[in-house]
């Protein structure tokens, strides 16, 4: 604010009213707004606002439910087999009939060969005969059964890695069933939410209609706008402006130069 200024407030009031030409139409619009306010509109969409499951989805849900509740038919067999391996049930040569049959066949050949040699030497049934036969059969057993034992040991180590995965597989069917349940619950929640939306709409309907009604009649009718703003009046500019206006008035009223000067002086103080 400059030196010598004097703040004050100026209130400007403006009024706007519709012309005579448009007043009948505005009156008709007000009546229509009143009728709309008292009517039952707007209304909520009358049909459901969610989509039903398609036949394909329903079939998929039924199949998934049957599969989840029935379980994997191969899972139990796999777990039993892994359990047998871990317990070492296949380490015994008798657990493999084909391996046992191969040994018996080869053992017969070995026995026949040894016995034939000792028979030709006239020492069949001797202690040396029995010792050689036992050694040959023992060496044969090592050659046949040792690789099988080693292979089963490798299977046991592999089974220890696979066992946790099979144990985790037990939960896959449960998770599948839970997924079916979640989809059904999601559909149920969609129906519940639809009911909630309808309820909320009806609750807000009177307020919505009132706002629309007030908005419809609020703009066209006569209105008065008052606005107050501070005005900082500069004394020097006021003197100069008033003097100019007074000087012009003095000349207009034919007061001559002296009257114009006097009017200018008086105008400077107002």
**Rounded distance between C-alpha atoms, residue 62 and residue 48, angstroms:** 24
Q: Where are the alpha helices (DSSP H) in the chain?
A: 23-38, 55-70, 73-86, 97-120, 127-218, 235-252, 256-268
Rounded to whole angstroms, the Cα distance separating 196 from 43 reads: 15
Band the pLDDT of 4: cuts 50, 70, 90. low
- pLDDT, one tens digit per residue, over 43-75 is 888 888 888 888 888 888 898 898 888 877 777
Residue count (the chain): 270
Band of residue 228 on the pLDDT scale cut at 50, 70, 90: very low
- Position 145 scores a pLDDT of 78
Asked whether residue 177 carries a pLDDT value surpassing 80, the answer given is yes
How far, CA to CA in Å, does 177 sit from each of 109, 174, 189, 192?
60, 5, 18, 22
Give dist(CA 71, CA 110) in Å, integer. 51
Nearest to 148 by CA among 94, 202, 68, 228: 94
CA-CA distance, 17 to 225, in Å (whole number)? 12
Write phi, then psi, for 157 (nearest 5 degrees). -65, -40
What is the reported pTM?
Answer: 0.47
């Amino acid at each position: 604010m400059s030196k010598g200024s004097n703040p004050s407030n100026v209130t400007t009031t403006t009024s706007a009213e519709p012309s005579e030409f448009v007043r009948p139409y505005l009156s008709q619009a007000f009546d229509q707004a009143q009728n709309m306010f008292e009517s039952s509109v707007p209304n909520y969409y009358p049909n459901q606002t969610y989509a039903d499951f398609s036949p394909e989805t329903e079939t998929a849900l039924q199949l998934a439910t049957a599969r989840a509740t029935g379980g994997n038919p191969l899972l139990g067999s796999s777990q039993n087999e892994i359990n047998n391996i871990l317990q070492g049930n296949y380490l015994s040569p008798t657990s493999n009939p084909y391996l046992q049959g191969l040994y018996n066949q080869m053992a017969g050949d070995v026995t026949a060969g040894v016995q034939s040699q000792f028979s030709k030497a006239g020492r069949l049934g001797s202690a040396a005969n029995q010792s050689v036969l036992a050694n040959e059969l023992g060496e044969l057993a090592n050659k046949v059964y040792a690789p099988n034992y080693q292979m089963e040991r490798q299977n046991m180590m592999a089974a220890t890695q696979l066992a946790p995965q099979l144990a985790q597989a037990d939960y896959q069917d449960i998770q599948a069933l839970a997924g079916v349940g979640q989809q059904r619950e999601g559909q149920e929640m969609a129906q519940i939410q639809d009911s909630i939306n309808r309820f909320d709409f009806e609750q807000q309907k009177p307020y919505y209609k009132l706002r629309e009604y007030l908005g419809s009649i609020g703009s066209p009718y006569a209105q008065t706008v008052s606005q107050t703003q501070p005005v900082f009046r500069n004394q020097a500019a006021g003197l100069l402006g008033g003097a100019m206006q007074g000087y012009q008035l003095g000349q207009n009223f034919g007061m001559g130069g002296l009257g114009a000067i006097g009017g200018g002086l008086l105008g400077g103080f107002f």
